[in-house]
Structure 1
């Protein structure tokens, strides 16, 4: 396996890995170690069936099913479809998802561990994804600010995010709301495998920092988010068809970027790896 750095603080490309083929326990352990170290792994030029995508993702753990079941449009419910394409008048995937900085499924009591996103159809321009190292962001904070926020907690709200991002769509159903109540997580979390600290914030989905007046909470969240997405901590991924990207949601944020969704089609398939512990 050849390893190529994607940025100084986050991400590596792995050459010589075929995600469609079975891999050994030793190779799985190596991938897991690289993910713990670099937070984002890129495998280019993959050719995966939906079943192979699911099978590869399971090497990292059990998979979760997304609450927006209307976008589970393949034969495999583990695959959440992100797309602007319509078939027979029906959207095959969620469009304009993730156009804010976030960690996947931070709104769950036990958030997901990781995501495995496969590019099936990509626009020739636009639709990049940005990734921020929350380890690097934490480590670059002023020590006084680190001490101030070290034991703070914040409220993560899926319904609050959904209403902001998708106000033009059907509201969440009663069952979807019941499945995603607001949760409280630390503003600074410890990586469960490495012990390394990282910021754990985000835009829109993080509603407030507990114990602060509303204006002070909003100002602090804005400052932390603005710091975390500084160029020094961010890798921009330009997608190519066949790209398979694995990232650790416990120590990263990411954001999708726009593209000409009238001129171009985009179909992305995501599997989500189940978390095992509450953030601490």
Structure 2
């Protein structure tokens, strides 16, 4: 399998793989190894039906359904739509989603393992996605800071994030809030397959760090978030139609960036790979 480095610390492009075709167990195992090592995989020039997108994603595990069911607008509920497009006056996808640094579904007791995002329509400018290596961020901390945060825990709150990010929309339903109660995860987590440590923080969804005075906890979270997104840890992905991007949410954060949503259309389809372990 031919690969090309995307950045010195995170991400590789895999060349010559057709995600719409049958894929051998050996190739899946090799991609899984690459994901464990590099955290982000890119396959360019793909041409996938919705069913093929789902079939490819299932090579990595079972899929989960997003709690915002109003954006499951394809024939397949496994596909969460990110888009500014409206049809018959109704949004076909969630717009301005993920414009903060986060790991997908960290607000669940067992967060998701990975995400598989397929670019169907891309603006010619803007709408990049930034990815940061939380392994590299942890390893770059000085030993004193590592010792300070090694056993701290933090509260992840989807309701808190939603209320901040989407105050202009209909609030979460009672059922959606019940499905996403606040959860507590370690600030430093161990990768379940490699044993490698990484930071596990984020903006907005991570509400607070426990067992510290409130002011100290807020300052520490701000410091860790700022450190985690330092330029040396970050890869900027400039989307092309047909890009298929797979990333490991257990050791990365990412962030969407704005674009001219009046001038351009954007349609992205995402599947989400189920996690199997609570962060430890």
Q: TM-score range by the shorter chain?
A: over 0.9
Match of 1:70 in 2: 70
Match of 2:267 in 1: 267
Match of 1:173 in 2: 173
Distance in structure 2 (CA, Å) of the matches to 1:116 and 1:142: 33
Q: Shift of residue 2 of structure 1?
A: 1.1
Match of 2:22 in 1: 22
Distance in structure 2 (CA, Å) of the matches to 1:19 and 1:234: 26
1:25-69 Cα offsets, whole Å, 9 max, x none, are 111100000000000000000000000000000000000000000
Match of 1:227 in 2: 227
Q: Shift of residue 116 of structure 1?
A: 0.1
**TM-score, normalised with respect to structure 1:** 1.00
Please report the RMSD computed on the Cα atoms of aligned residues, expressed in angstroms: 0.3
1:91-137 Cα offsets, whole Å, 9 max, x none, are 00000000000000000000000000000000000000000000000
Q: Shift of residue 143 of structure 1?
A: 0.3
Q: Structure 2: any 5+ residue segments left out of the alignment?
A: none
Match of 2:106 in 1: 106
Distance in structure 1 (CA, Å) of the matches to 2:260 and 2:216: 37
Distance in structure 2 (CA, Å) of the matches to 1:255 and 1:213: 29
What SS does the aligned partner of 2:222 have? helix
Q: Shift of residue 215 of structure 1?
A: 1.2
Q: Shift of residue 207 of structure 1?
A: 0.2
Mapping of residues 173-252 of structure 1, within 5 Å = 173-252=173-252
Q: Shift of residue 214 of structure 1?
A: 1.5
Distance in structure 1 (CA, Å) of the matches to 2:121 and 2:16: 23
Distance in structure 1 (CA, Å) of the matches to 2:54 and 2:99: 25
**TM-score, normalised with respect to structure 2:** 1.00
Mapping of residues 9-158 of structure 1, within 5 Å = 9-158=9-158
Q: Shift of residue 24 of structure 1?
A: 0.7
Distance in structure 1 (CA, Å) of the matches to 2:165 and 2:230: 23
Distance in structure 2 (CA, Å) of the matches to 1:75 and 1:20: 18
Q: Structure 1: any 5+ residue segments left out of the alignment?
A: none
Q: Shift of residue 89 of structure 1?
A: 0.2
Q: Shift of residue 212 of structure 1?
A: 1.2
Match of 2:257 in 1: 257
Distance in structure 2 (CA, Å) of the matches to 1:26 and 1:193: 18
Q: Shift of residue 147 of structure 1?
A: 0.2
Greater than 4 Å deviation, 4+ residue runs: none
